[in-house]
Every structure is written in structure tokens, then in C-alpha cells.
Amino acid sequence: MFKTITIIGFGLIGSSIARKIRRVAPDIHIVCYDHSEDVCRKVIDLNLADSVSSDPAVVGGSNLVILAVPVGAMPGIVQSILPHLTENTIITDVGSVKEQVVYDIELVLPNDIAFVAGHPIAGTEFSGPEAGFAELFENRLWILTPTAQTPALAIQHVQEFCENLGANVKIMPPDIHDRTLAMTSHLPQLISYMMIHAADRLGQDLHHDVISCSANGFHGFARIAASDPVMWRDVYLTNKDHVLEAIDRFQNTLSQMRHMVENGDGQGMHDFFSASRARHLKHLESRKS
């Protein structure tokens, strides 16, 4: 369907897409555009693309352009590639925030270029072209957030593309995506950074390495604190209102829990933990089917 695909930003997500395309559709010509000479060199060494450049003009002739850079960089990149795009090119993205990005990009888009915003719900805490792997999207959700302006045929083509990468596509409005992901992704990431910070401060007060005395529970929280700070800074700058809502909801729950612990409310805690446990087990069960 797409003969030439440009991936802009060849990090974890961009290089994983390229690896999977190489595996399932080796005839597709993959173009890499990354502003980092170092990343371009690695893409050549890893043989992940057929053309590699740090010049935006390289997008010329592509049927599909995938933005896989931090969300704050996307509007500027779209402005810089627009003069080089051919008629009927489809642009999609993989950014973790949708409403602001969709607004900024649709504002500058000419009529003959379609934008289908997307977000694969898959990732790791690692960055860069070496971190990617072809199986990353296997059976994972890939959310598309088209608007009234998005042509139906472009949505269909991008949906088929994501499914060919192994993902299950779900369509939802950009604001619902952002409100949902603020709770399921952006808040947990904040908590992870905060857990490390709080444990380290305790270590300074106690004059010993508190973090080294941690087991699986802490590691489960802390793992994603290894994630790229630029990517996450952009998420909180572009999804501010929904993240604030998630923080407020969490803060209310935390206050409720603090109250139970302070008052030795064992029954309250037991009921709370049992309800959360049951909800989590139901979720795990639904993932099996």
C-alpha cells in the first residue's frame, strides 16, 4: 500500500517500526530522517533504512511520513517538511499526547496532505535506535485519534499499516485519549520519578543508600524512571490540564489512604485493597481473552 515510508526520529519507536517493516514488507523503501548525525550513523550501521539523512527534503516522494520524535518537536518538523511533501502524502505520528499536536498540525496542513494522529500503547524505558525491536507492537493497542478533518481513506490506510505491524487499533477522540493516558501513563511516570526522588532524599537524611535496600515492589515503580527526560517533559507541557486532573484524583485517593493508615482503619484498608485487587485481576483476565 505504501511504497516509500519516511520515519522521522529513529529512536525506540521509530526504529521498532522500521524493524517490523523490514520483516513483514521488505519491498517498502524506508527513509530515515533524524536531526542527529550520530543516530543517522547508527541507522546505517544497523541497516534499518534504505536512505538516511538529516535534511528534511529527504521526505520528498514518500507516501507515508511517521513522526516519531518528542511531541514538542512535531509542529516545527511538520512546518519544515511541508514544502517537500508530494500530493496525497499521509502523515501520522506516534506521540504520547494527541489534542495539542493534532491542533497544531491541522492548523498548518494543506488540503492535499492528510494527518492521522496515532499512539502505540507500547514502549520501554530505553531510547535510541539500538533500543528498538520488531515485536514491540505485537498484540498491543495502537490508538488513532482522527478528527472531522481526517479523510476516511487515510484513516483506513493507517489502520491497516498499524495492524500489519501487529497492533490492535482503537479509535477515540484526541481529548479522551489524553484524559485516559494522563491517568494510565503520564501519572505513573511522574510517580516513578517522584519515588526515586523521595527515596534518595530519605537516604540523604539517614546517611545511607536507601535505594540499594529496595526489592521488586520499588523496582516495579522505579524502572520507568530510566526513560528519556525530553520526551516526558514534552508530555507534561502538552497535556497539562489532563495531567493536573489525574494528579488531583490521585491526591484525593492518597489523602483517603493516609487517613485510613493514620487511624489504623484495618477494615477500610482491607476493603480498599480487595476492591483494587479484584479490579486488577479482572483486567488481567480480560487481557487473556
Q: Which stretch binds ligand NAP (CB under 6 A): 118-126, 186-194, 256-264, 278-286?
A: 118-126
Q: How far apart are CA 197 and CA 207, in angstroms?
A: 15
Nearer to ligand NAP, 73 or 176 (CB): 73
Residue 11, interface with ligand NAP (CB under 6 A)?
A: yes
Instruction: Tell me whether residue 19 or residue 119 sits nearer to ligand NAP (CB atom).
Output: 119
Asked if residues 178 and 241 have their Cβ atoms less than 8 Å apart, the reply is no
Among positions 60, 61, 75, 128, the unique one binding ligand NAP when judged by CB under 6 A:
128
Examine residue 39 and tell whether it contacts ligand NAP (CB under 6 A): yes
**Based on CB atoms, which residue is closest to ligand NAP, 168 or 281?**
168
Distances (CA, A) of 116 to 33, 67, 239, 270: 19, 11, 19, 45
**Closer CB to ligand NAP, residue 95 or residue 146?**
95
147: closest CA among 101, 179, 112, 184? 101
**Minimum distance from CB of 79 to ligand NAP (Å)?**
11
Residues within window 178-237 making contact with ligand NAP, judged by CB under 6 A: 228, 231
Question: Counting contacts by CB under 6 A, is residue 113 touching ligand NAP?
Answer: no
Taking the CA atoms of 35, 53, 136 and 184 in sequence, report the sign of the dihedral they define.
Answer: positive
Residue 145 Cβ, how far from ligand NAP at the closest point, in Å? 13
Q: Does 84 bind ligand NAP (CB under 6 A)?
A: no
Q: Is 214 helix (H, G, I), strand (E, B) or coil?
A: coil
Rounded Cα gap, residues 63 and 46, in angstroms: 24
Q: In whole angstroms, give the CA distance from residue 195 to residue 150.
A: 41
Q: Mask: binding to ligand NAP, 47-76, rule CB under 6 A, as x and -? A: ---------------------xxxx-x---
Is 82 one of the binding residues for ligand NAP (CB under 6 A)? no
Asked if 33 contacts 53 with a C-beta cutoff of 8 angstroms, the reply is yes
Q: What residue type is 176 in one-letter code?
A: I
Runs of H (alpha helix) within the chain: 12-24, 37-45, 74-81, 99-108, 152-164, 174-181, 187-206, 216-222, 229-238, 240-262, 266-288
Residues that bind ligand NAP (CB under 6 A): 8-14, 34-36, 39, 68-71, 73, 77, 94-96, 119-120, 123-124, 127-128, 228, 231
